[in-house]
Chain A
Amino acid sequence: GAGVSQSPSNKVTEKGKDVELRCDPISGHTALYWYRQSLGQGLEFLIYFQGNSAPDKSGLPSDRFSAERTGGSVSTLTIQRTQQEDSAVYLCASSPSLQTYGYTFGSGTRLTVV
């Protein structure tokens, strides 16, 4: 597609439920990144993919968070047993390769855990 597409754009979920956030990167971009931004805070790195592999998972806040990427394209970030502190905007970005730092971000998924 023309840009990075994320869905849903907004998600309200009850504490304890699982959620799946989807990212569709720019076609041909091999590198894909997940960040989150809490209200009034900076961007927090979660995980990145080179192709389908995730060399650096160090940013995932807990074992309730997982991510996968299939076919070198779409990625899914899953949060199990959501907690109120998971409320944030989850941003996905892609770039042509790891050596290209001109990230293009999607418009994000605003997650609210009630």
Chain B
Amino acid sequence: RKEVEQDPGPFNVPEGATVAFNCTYSNSASQSFFWYRQDCRKEPKLLMSVYSSGNEDGRFTAQLNRASQYISLLIRDSKLSDSATYLCVVNSGGTSYGKLTFGQGTILTVHP
């Protein structure tokens, strides 16, 4: 089983739509969780951290369920510029403290 699993998509949505991505992780010792965004042929960039209580940044809302080892990202009012690959990322914890494990990514395309 992969350490971080995501639905690869692709998700094709019209502008203005709401879209949600899910992610599960296998290491119960993981302490920190993130969503990164990667544009085509570019490096990943931090989108937001994910906190236990859930957190929001503008149109983006992240949720964490530690009991189910599940993370989600909700994007409201999608823009064309949101088209990218979204990477679910967890730290491995334990002796690998400092190491982030990346999911395969979920591809999002927002069309006019």
Query: Which A residues form the contact surface with B (CB < 8 A)?
Result: 31, 33, 35, 41-43, 45, 48, 50, 55-56, 58-59, 91, 98, 101-108
- CB neighbours of A59 from chain B (8 A): 99
The 8 closest A-B pairs by CB, nearest first: A98-B98, A105-B43, A42-B104, A43-B102, A101-B32, A42-B102, A107-B43, A102-B46
- CB neighbours of B100 from chain A (8 A): 33, 45, 101, 103
Mark contacts of B92-112 with chain A using CB atoms, 8 A cut-off: 1 yes-contact digit, 0 otherwise: 000111111111110000000
Q: Residue B1 at the A interface, CB < 8 A?
A: no
Q: What distance in Å separates the Cβ of B100 from its nearest Cβ neighbour in chain A? A: 7
**Contact call A42/B105, Cβ cutoff below 8 A:** yes
Name 13 interchain pairs, CB-CB below 8 A, sorted by A: A33-B99, A41-B104, A42-B102, A42-B103, A56-B99, A91-B43, A91-B44, A101-B91, A103-B44, A105-B43, A105-B44, A107-B42, A108-B43
Query: Number of residues in B with C-beta < 8 Å to the partner?
Result: 21
- CB neighbours of A43 from chain B (8 A): 44, 87, 102
**Contact call B99/A105, Cβ cutoff below 8 A:** no
A91 to B96, CA, bound (A): 19
**Contact call A45/B99, Cβ cutoff below 8 A:** yes
Given contacts A101-B34, A101-B49, contact A50 B98 (CB under 8 A): yes
Name the residue of chain B whose CB is nearest to the CB of A35: B102
Task: Report which of A48, A58, A102, A104 forms a contact with B98, defined as CB distance below 8 A.
Answer: A48
Q: What distance in Å separates the Cβ of B92 from its nearest Cβ neighbour in chain A? A: 8
Q: What distance in Å separates the Cβ of B43 from its nearest Cβ neighbour in chain A? A: 4
- CB neighbours of B66 from chain A (8 A): none
- CB neighbours of A107 from chain B (8 A): 42-43
- CB neighbours of A33 from chain B (8 A): 98-100
Q: Known pairs A42-B105, A45-B99. 20 more at Cβ < 8 A?
A: A31-B98, A35-B102, A41-B104, A42-B87, A42-B102, A45-B101, A55-B95, A58-B96, A91-B43, A98-B98, A101-B49, A101-B91, A101-B100, A102-B49, A103-B44, A103-B46, A104-B46, A105-B43, A105-B45, A107-B42
